[in-house]
Amino acid sequence: MFTLPQKDFSAPTTCLGPACMQDLGSSHGDDLEGECSRKLDQKLPELPGVGDSAMLSPDTSYLSSRGRMIKWFWDSAEEGYRTYHMDEYDENKNPSGIINLGVSENKLCFDLLSWRLSQSDMQRVEPSLLQYADWRGHLFLREEVAKFLSFYCKSPAPLRPENVVVLNGGASLFSALATVLCEAGEAFLIPTPYYGAITQHVCLYGNVRLACVYLDSEVTGLDTRPFQLTVEKLEMALREAHSEGVKVKGLILINPQNPLGDIYSPEELQEYLVFAKRHKLHVIVDEVYMLSVFEESVGYRSVLSLERLPDPQRTHVMWATSKDFGMSGLRFGTLYTENQDVATAVASLCRYHGLSGLVQYQMAQLLRDRDWINQVYLPENHARLKAAHTYVSEELRALGIPFLSRGAGFFIWVDLRKYLPKATFEEEMLLWRRFLDNKVLLSFGKAFECKEPGWFRFVFSDQAHRLCLGMQRVRQVLAGKSQVAEDPPPSQSQEPSDQCR
């Protein structure tokens, strides 16, 4: 007989062969592709129509050349997580399994969410929800999203449902926006380190690239803090892209930032927007962590709260429930833009990014329930995030490890440079592997296109028992570091050879 989903999905016995591992591997895809498992020094393959893709194209392939590139994305995503999914930690069944502090998911509030989603108002089924509907999203949901964003983003005037497009997640939104704003081969600017999966989202269909604005940790010149984004750096990156013949169409900002856990102040935001306007660039502001700012003092402001946007027609805001409501599996994301051409063009692609009518109904119910959100969910979620954050940051302090994190998001950006014998990405990868060998999965900086080797992202939004165990394993690795660094890494021979280079 059929057994329930949850366990099947992690039980290697029910599935056979490598293909299966690969897919379990990718099951945490959003993050894993970009953040944990990108091969160290392997560049993205040349894009179709642009260069030779011979490196991935045995003539025997059944796929088109872009198909081979797409498959490369999938295959490379699998590598890091193969190990994890074969040996996932479970308190009872597999206590020596791997703890996952690598994927940015909020696992602290499933109790609250399961309760809310099981309430009777969520179970409505009616014909209109089962039939084709407006591809922008059901009107009732778009109205609810507009009200929700008006309230939580503190917009000066009520936001309008016509400006809302609803899709099955932020990934889809990146894909659709890239396609309708850029031609193939054009680019978006993005400050690094950044959430690496965006590379794939804009590339798969859109064949759009990212032009990195490299930031460093050192505080020099006009910078007042590490990895500070300034207009000068934006200008420089833009010039550089132009000189390489890459046409830049826009700028992607993630606020609160992933992986820095920092936020842009309203003044900074304004400067970036003015910069974009000067160069006629679109700005995509990804605010997927906007309600996960657990330190009040941080003073986060949504771009939608600004009194006047420099270029409202080119400012496009993204939000989703994956992070703020800890439901990455629900697949709900939304675009807010005043530009009707962009909204319409994105909606034209929504036929491929639609979400079930039943889920749309549930989302509307959830977003409408202001009392529960304000009085139950957000306070509790923030308290739990804060506690988990305090725990991990105390641990790091005790170890004398520097880190960045200002009280937003699910992660701490940790500086492990002093644990690398040489400042190379190979060493970063080796250290990452050592963590994995000691059964704790982290994300390494290279996956965020960080230019300095040695940074890691620790996700702390997990249950205390798993978190403690994870940190304990981290400590073990770091304590044994000096000894390990002298010997050749013992693990290497066991690893698939293509993972290290």
The footprint of another protein on residues 360-379 (CB under 8 A) is 362
In the three-class reduction of DSSP (H, G, I as helix; E, B as strand; rest coil), residue 98 is classed as strand
- Nearest residue (CB) to another protein, 18 versus 488: 18
Nearest to 157 by CA among 306, 323, 377: 306
- Nearest residue (CB) to another protein, 363 versus 420: 363
Tell me how many residues contact another protein (CB under 8 A).
104
Residue 351 contacts another protein per CB under 8 A: yes
In the three-class reduction of DSSP (H, G, I as helix; E, B as strand; rest coil), residue 189 is classed as strand
- Nearest residue (CB) to another protein, 206 versus 453: 206
The Cα 78–Cα 23 span in angstroms is 7
Residues 234-273 that bind another protein (CB under 8 A): 249
- Nearest residue (CB) to another protein, 68 versus 417: 68
The Cα 215–Cα 452 span in angstroms is 9
**Cβ–Cβ < 8 Å for 210, 47:** no
**Of 82, 142, 331, 434, which lies in the binding site for another protein, with binding defined by CB under 8 A?**
331
Residue 191 contacts another protein per CB under 8 A: no
Residue 462 contacts another protein per CB under 8 A: no
Residues 201-230 that bind another protein (CB under 8 A): 201, 204-205
**Least distance from C-beta 148 to another protein, angstroms?**
19
Residue 39 contacts another protein per CB under 8 A: no
> Pairing mode, if any, of strands 455-459 and 411-415?
antiparallel
Residues 72-131 that bind another protein (CB under 8 A): 73-75, 77, 103, 105, 107, 110, 113-114, 117-118, 122-123, 125-131
> Pairing mode, if any, of strands 209-213 and 99-100?
unpaired
Residue 57 contacts another protein per CB under 8 A: no
Residues 308-327 that bind another protein (CB under 8 A): 313-314, 326-327
Residue 480 contacts another protein per CB under 8 A: no
Tokens of 136: 């922008």
**Of 145, 254, 349, 408, which lies in the binding site for another protein, with binding defined by CB under 8 A?**
349
Residue 49 contacts another protein per CB under 8 A: yes
Peptide bond into 256 cis (omega under 30): yes
The Cα 208–Cα 406 span in angstroms is 32
Nearest to 428 by CA among 437, 412, 415, 410: 415
- Nearest residue (CB) to another protein, 249 versus 417: 249
Q: How many residues does the chain have?
A: 501
Residue 13 contacts another protein per CB under 8 A: no
The type of residue at 203 is C
The type of residue at 412 is I
Residue 16 contacts another protein per CB under 8 A: yes
**Phi, then psi, of 285 in degrees rounded to 5:** -105, 115
